[in-house]
Amino acid sequence: MAATYAMTWDLDVFFPGGSSSPEFRQFVEELNRDIGNLEQRIDALDSAQGKERPEKWGDLIDHVQELGKRLRQAGAFVNCLTAQNVKDEQAKLLRGRLTQLGASFGAAMTQLERKILDTPENEWRELINHPRLQPVAFSLEERRRRAAEQLPPEQEVLVGDLAVDGYHAWWELYNTVVGRITIPFEEDGEVKRLSVGQARNKFSSEDGQVRKTVFEEWQKAWQEHADLCASALNHLGGFRLNLYRHRGWDSVLKEPLDNNRMTRETLETMWGVIDENKERLIPYFERKAKLLGLDALRWCDLDAPLPGGEKSVSYDEAADFIIEQFGRFDPGLADFARTAFENRWIEAEDRPNKRPGGFCTTFPVSGQSRIFMTFGGTTGNISTLAHELGHAYHQQVMGDLPYWSQLYAMNVAETASTFAEMIVTDAAIRHASSDAERLGLLEEKLQRAAAFFMDIRARFLFETRFYEERKDGPVSVDRLNQLMVDAQREAFADAMADYDPTFWASKLHFYITGQPFYNFPYTFGFLFSAGIYGRAKEDGAAFAAKYADLLRDTGRMTVEDLAARHLGVDLRRPDFWQSAVDQVLSDVDQFLRLSEKA
């Protein structure tokens, strides 16, 4: 029977021809021209006087937001090209060009932020309260505060220019390394060379020997390339530490906390509650190991399905299932998902040369998103699809806001995606046709809880300690391996049979230059969405509109203010986090009860 939904995305609707698209090259040239003229337009602000001053500022801010949308559109296109084919050399060159454009735009923004900072307080109050600027007042205030904490403009511009072929180049090197790695795997008497993404999917195999064999080859491959990965990681870390030192910042957490619009008090409260409760997951680990016929879980078993509980699903089945479950929460969310599947917003085909992992990126000029993943027919893949569709929905409900008000932080971005996962999984558990099916779905939920409470915690501990040691010079491969294992032992309460010493090399999140500490926002989003989901269950159908209102505010207030306004809670206190943790870990008891019969 013919498939209903295509498994490859449509990028030609934006720029036909892929990395050779003449339309895209023209788009970039026009963007380059307009960014080149931006500093002159910013300088013209000085001549604005009296009543024309707010209008001049408003015109410029509108123009800057439009340029930001166009730059993001171009970046999204190139990101999609490099993800769908890591060997697309032309796409890599285009990404380099966009990195330079981004630096030019950043330099102009630094100039604008200096003018924002230099505006006398009484004039500034008048400006941001004017109808032309009030819709983006939060963003303007945020930029004024951050400008006061940075180096003089000419030095910040120099930092941005040098970062193109320094800081960001190490991220490019890492991507090149990943593109070259293949993992040997014997199947049907033939040795195949799997991409990193394809090999990663094997950790969800029902066959324990497959998981073990692939994990061993995985370790060999990453250890073979560990010296290059360590070089990239050390230079990224060194760049950040030196920049922070010159800015007078005393903590590597300052930038990620600012980026995520949250306080350190909130972060420490969240981790404190998790550390106090993580051992409640140990009975789940022990029971899962028993069901798998093991004395204790190995690292390669974390994503393993239960025996007989894993069923293969087609892409069409996954799509229809997601649409149906979304519809139980909000018909509008279901319609949105249907549009994404029908209009080929999703790249899901399992083929060589794709980047590992999954993501959602937005094309703000076109008002669309694109989702990337590799669909291997597992129920875990369904969760990934739902997760990325949550991101896309988040963007969709904000589409009519000023562009700066759409720029939500990573932690609240993960709220929408994780909330979408919860809708799909919980609805599936309620409507499961058997205890075996219900047990399998509960196990997937607890896998994610372990990931957010323990795996992400290990990443945070590793990265925090890496930066502390990096202050004294580069950290060796052996030491990085040790730091990784120590962090995993602590985060997992030493409950595993073995650990993954080269995880620091294989996890691309450590190398992303756009977002330092690409870890704790996931856990924040997971627990924040659990708290929101609790409200949704209490309020019923009426909550869908409240949820959309909350998402619309994510780009224009701190997370503490967001929670206070829409949930009436204080994120700096443990109460909210404890209630969210309790809700998540209530699945452990249900899992233990059901698995006694297995």
Is the pLDDT confidence value at 229 over 90? yes
For the chain, how many structural domains are there in total?
Answer: 3
Is the pLDDT confidence value at 352 over 90? no
Mark whether 121 and 25 lie in a shared domain: yes
Mark whether 49 and 139 lie in a shared domain: yes
What Å distances lie between residue 213 and 192, 209, 216, 378, CA to CA? 13, 6, 5, 19
Mark whether 226 and 346 lie in a shared domain: no
Mark whether 225 and 187 lie in a shared domain: yes
Percent share of the chain, pLDDT over 70: 99
143 part of a folded domain: yes
Chain segment 272-325, per-residue pLDDT in tens: 999 999 999 999 999 999 999 999 999 999 999 888 655 678 999 999 999 999
Which residue from 114, 116, 112 is spatially nearest to 127, judged by alpha carbons? 116
DSSP string of 466-493? HHHHHTTSPPPHHHHHHHHHHHHHHHTT
Q: What is the mean pLDDT of residues 220-227?
A: 95
The answer to whether 321 and 428 are in contact (CB under 8 A) is: yes
Whose tokens are 């609805």? That residue is 427
**pLDDT band at residue 582 using 50, 70 and 90 as cut-offs:** very high
> What span, in angstroms and rounded, lies between the C-alpha atoms of 206 and 211?
8
Which alpha helices (H) appear in 225-351, and where do they start and end?
226-247, 254-259, 264-277, 282-291, 315-329, 331-342
Region label for 200, one of left (φ > 0), alpha (ψ between -120 and 50) or beta (otherwise): alpha
**pLDDT band at residue 5 using 50, 70 and 90 as cut-offs:** very high
580 part of a folded domain: no
Q: What is the mean pLDDT of residues 512-526?
A: 93
Chain segment 112-164, per-residue pLDDT in tens: 999 999 999 999 999 999 999 999 999 999 999 999 999 998 898 899 889 98
Mark whether 226 and 292 lie in a shared domain: yes
**pLDDT given at position 311:** 66
**pLDDT given at position 161:** 87
Is the pLDDT confidence value at 598 over 70? no
Sequence-separated (6 or more) residues with CB below 8 Å from residue 503: 458, 459, 462, 484, 488
Final residue belonging to a domain, choices 165, 182, 213: 165
> How many C-beta neighbours within 10 Å does residue 494 have?
10
Is the pLDDT confidence value at 68 over 70? yes
Mark whether 299 and 367 lie in a shared domain: no
Mark whether 27 and 137 lie in a shared domain: yes
Is the pLDDT confidence value at 547 over 80? yes
Mark whether 141 and 63 lie in a shared domain: yes
Q: What is the mean pLDDT of residues 239-251?
A: 96
Mark whether 31 and 103 lie in a shared domain: yes
Mark whether 208 and 253 lie in a shared domain: yes
Mark whether 257 and 332 lie in a shared domain: no
Q: How far apart are the first and last CA of the chain?
A: 35
Final residue belonging to a domain, choices 125, 147, 165: 165
Domain of 414?
315-447+521-554
**pLDDT given at position 296:** 95
Q: What is the mean pLDDT of residues 380-393?
A: 92
Is the pLDDT confidence value at 379 over 70? yes
> What span, in angstroms and rounded, lies between the C-alpha atoms of 544 and 547?
5
Q: What is the mean pLDDT of residues 232-242?
A: 96
Q: What angle do CA 101, 81, 227 make, to 5 degrees?
A: 85
568 part of a folded domain: no
229 part of a folded domain: yes
359 part of a folded domain: yes
378 φ/ψ angles, rounded to the nearest 5 degrees:
-95, 160
Is the pLDDT confidence value at 439 over 80? yes
Mark whether 78 and 156 lie in a shared domain: yes
**pLDDT given at position 430:** 80
**pLDDT band at residue 1 using 50, 70 and 90 as cut-offs:** low
Which residue from 386, 392, 387, 375 is spatially nearest to 315, judged by alpha carbons? 375
Q: What's the whole-model pTM score?
A: 0.87
> What span, in angstroms and rounded, lies between the C-alpha atoms of 497 and 408?
39
3 part of a folded domain: no
505 part of a folded domain: yes
Q: What is the mean pLDDT of residues 180-184?
A: 90
**pLDDT given at position 189:** 85
Residue 107: give its domain's CATH number.
1.20.140.70
Sequence-separated (6 or more) residues with CB below 8 Å from residue 59: none
Final residue belonging to a domain, choices 165, 185, 206: 165
Element (H, E) at 164: helix 153-165
Percent share of the chain, pLDDT over 90: 77
569 part of a folded domain: no
| Tokens at 565, concatenated | 């306004």
Residue 143: how many CA atoms within 13 Å on its side-chain side?
Answer: 24
